[in-house]
Amino acid sequence: MRVAGIYLAAGQSSRMGTSKVSLRLSQDVALGSVALSELERCGLEPLAVVVRADDKLEWLPPESGVPGSRRTETCLTAHLGLSFSLRCGLNAVLPAEPDAVVVALADQPFITAGLIGRLIETFRSSPTLDYVASKGNGTVMPPALFSKSLFPALQQLDGDRGAAGIFRSPDYKGAVIEGESPLFFMDADTEGDFREVHREWMLRSDRKRDSADI
């Protein structure tokens, strides 16, 4: 079974006022690099990183997944909404004929390879599912896995709502995975959100250093 990946990093960042993916969590770590590195631990092939035309890509980490699996896709229609970025990513991975695709957002730095692995294993165990999505704070959301049965529907999405309509539709059979921690789903839509994300990131870094010193 081949599972591809789509990493959506082409958001307009209109509420942030600057490129979110390039914001620094620490001197050496950009916001957009963290979840991408986690995805690359999951063997997704190919893995399309969808970016805007004006992205200098300075936030991209060194490739660490399956050699040659990562490809950067410039989405010229990203300003029209999330669904257009998703479509760009899907078109990029379709030639590989994947059985499913995992979609993740670049502004969720606490997403883990373990969570992605749970999505994939749920689908492997029940391949008739149309999707397997995450759930945090009572809301179904990315990261999510979509079976190839849903590829035509994904290509018909419009605007900035992404796959929310698919998750609500009775026409599709899905499973939902509860995140082990609400922190998994922290994102950085606004400056205030980023301050919260940055504070949690620094707390985690401090705890790791303390553990290493024991």
Cα 100 to chain centroid distance, Å, stands at: 14
Q: Residue ranges per domain, the chain? A: 3-213
- Written out in words, the top-level CATH class of the domain with range 3-213 is alpha beta
pLDDT of residue 24: 92
Lowest mean pLDDT among 6-10, 111-115, 137-141, 195-199: 137-141
Assigned token pair, 50: 């969808």
Mean of pLDDT over the chain: 89
Q: How far apart are CA 91 and CA 188, in angstroms?
A: 27
In terms of pLDDT, which residue wins out, 137 or 54?
A: 54
Please tell me whether the peptide bond between 98 and the residue prior to it is cis, using omega within 30 degrees of 0.
no
Q: Could you tell me where the DSSP H helices lie in the chain?
A: 31-40, 82-93, 113-125, 151-155, 164-168, 191-213
Q: What is the pLDDT of residue 138?
A: 81
pLDDT at 7 over 80: yes
What pTM was computed for the model?
Answer: 0.91
Contact 46, 69 (CB under 8 A): yes
Per mean pLDDT, which range of 92-106, 130-144, 155-169 is the poorest?
Answer: 155-169
**Residue of higher predicted confidence among 18 and 75:** 75
CB count in 10 Å sphere of residue 202: 12
Helix/strand/coil for 90: helix
CB within 8 A of 11, min separation 6: which ones? 20, 78, 82, 85, 105, 106, 107
- pLDDT for 14 equals 55
Q: What is the greatest pairwise CA distance in the chain?
A: 53
How does pLDDT run across 174-206, given as a tens digit for each residue? 999 987 776 767 777 788 888 988 998 888 776
CB of 5 closer than 8 Å to CB of 85: no
Q: Is the pLDDT of residue 214 over 60?
A: no
Confidence at 211, pLDDT banded by 50, 70, 90: low
Say yes or no to pLDDT of 130 above 90.
yes
Max mean pLDDT among 8-12, 13-17, 146-150, 188-192 falls in: 146-150
